[in-house]
């Protein structure tokens, strides 16, 4: 019998247990060859996806700049409300606006509709600040010569990885599954879809909620008479990437709690007993994983707390099922 045909036999099952299957046994060289084939297929899938997405620079750039554009539009709408309120207050007091205030008011009365609906020409964006007095730049800034290209290539690689993810995940799974028993494969296959759902939910929460809200609050806290808000594309992209990836990972908390409970490391009662300590730890972890501002830290810590409660509910159900199973009479 060759090394590739050898099989490893699990210990004989005890009474009342299902028989345990044999697993094929492979030599170190067979494992390396198998790993090389899986890696090669994964790399080919990523390269093909990369070639597909590279030409779409405008679309890719729009995706990662969209949260900033959302924040800019929200801040501009708030600016218009304040501007109209100032004009109404001056009129009620019988006070004339000075030349610059009048110029600013006339500019926004003339162009606000075009700015809000997106038809305002991009080449005239600087006039929104110069003539309109709205200090927040309409676009992100590339402070270095290659900064924009570096961010674009980084985003392109991430898009390629996302497109190639089904192939890459399947290759990883095929390599790992060969060494798992059938019941272990079933556990993984039941958990894997939920892992992807939670990952997507965390990334979506970061993209649509956490990053825009954090940027909005940061700008709101600035004293714009002394500090002008200016965001470089590299720093902004770093904030977006770190926040969304971190939230995607920490959203796996319920699955992690179920796994810890399943292997017997912690019981549901222990998880429930130390919930206060866990919440404090969540805020500490959020402070480490997120940029150094309170808003972003809270936007990560609060969902983590909710997810911990979800994990407690899941482990409670798991413990009840386990208790019900142990009380059933043996056949």
Confidence (pLDDT) at 85 = 92
Q: Where are the domains of the chain?
A: 182-325
d(CA 63, CA 228): 25
Instruction: Please provide the average confidence, as pLDDT, over all residues in the chain.
Output: 84
Q: Is pLDDT of 4 > 50?
A: no
- Burial (0-12, 13-18, 19+ Cβ within 10 Å), 328: exposed
Q: What is the pTM of this model?
A: 0.80
Q: Is pLDDT of 19 > 90?
A: no
Q: What is the mean pLDDT of residues 188-207?
A: 89
Q: What is the mean pLDDT of residues 100-123?
A: 93
Confidence (pLDDT) at 327 = 58
Q: Is pLDDT of 10 > 50?
A: no
Confidence (pLDDT) at 21 = 60
Q: What is the mean pLDDT of residues 199-217?
A: 91
Q: What is the mean pLDDT of residues 124-131?
A: 92
Confidence (pLDDT) at 276 = 85
Model confidence over 147-183: pLDDT tens digits? 999 999 999 999 999 999 999 999 988 888 877 778 7
- Residue 39 banded pLDDT, cuts 50, 70, 90: very high
Q: Is pLDDT of 228 > 70?
A: yes
Distance from first CA to last CA of the chain, Å, rounded? Answer: 40
Q: Is pLDDT of 8 > 70?
A: no
Burial call 272-285: b when 16+ CB within 10 Å, e when fewer: eeeeeebeeebeeb
CA atoms within 13 A on the CB side of 185: 12
**36-45, 65-74, 115-124, 184-193: least confident range:** 184-193
- Residue 190 banded pLDDT, cuts 50, 70, 90: confident
- Burial (0-12, 13-18, 19+ Cβ within 10 Å), 263: exposed
């Amino acid at each position: 019998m060759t090394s590739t045909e050898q099989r490893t036999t699990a210990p004989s099952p005890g009474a009342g247990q299902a028989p345990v299957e044999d697993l094929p046994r492979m030599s170190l060289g067979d494992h390396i060859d198998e790993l090389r084939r899986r890696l090669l297929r994964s790399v080919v899938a990523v390269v093909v996806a990369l070639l597909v997405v590279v030409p779409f620079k405008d679309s890719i750039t729009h995706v990662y700049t969209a949260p900033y554009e959302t924040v800019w539009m929200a801040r501009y709408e708030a600016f218009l409300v304040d501007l109209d309120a100032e004009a109404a207050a001056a009129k009620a007091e019988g006070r004339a606006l000075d030349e610059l205030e009048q110029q600013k008011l006339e500019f926004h009365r003339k162009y606000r509709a075009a700015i809000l609906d997106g038809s305002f020409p991009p080449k005239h964006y600087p006039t929104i600040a110069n003539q309109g007095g709205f200090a927040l730049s309409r676009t992100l800034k590339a402070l270095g010569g290659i900064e924009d290209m570096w961010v674009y290539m980084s985003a392109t690689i991430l898009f390629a990885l996302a497109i190639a993810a089904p192939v890459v995940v399947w290759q990883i799974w095929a390599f790992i599954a060969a060494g798992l028993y059938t019941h272990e494969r079933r556990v993984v296959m039941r958990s894997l879809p939920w892992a992807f759902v939670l990952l997507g939910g965390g990334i979506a929460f970061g993209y649509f909620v956490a990053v825009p809200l954090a940027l909005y609050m940061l700008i709101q806290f600035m004293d714009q008479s002394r500090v002008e808000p200016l965001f470089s594309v590299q720093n902004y992209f770093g904030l977006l990437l770190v926040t969304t990836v971190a939230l995607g990972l920490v959203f796996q908390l319920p699955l992690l709690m179920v796994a810890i409970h399943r292997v017997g490391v912690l019981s549901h009662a222990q998880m429930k007993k130390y919930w206060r300590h866990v919440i404090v730890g969540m805020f500490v972890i959020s402070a480490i994983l997120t940029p150094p501002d309170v808003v972003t830290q809270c936007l990560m810590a609060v969902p983590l707390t909710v997810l911990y409660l979800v994990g407690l509910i899941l482990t409670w159900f798991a413990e009840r099922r386990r208790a019900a199973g142990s009380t059933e009479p043996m056949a």
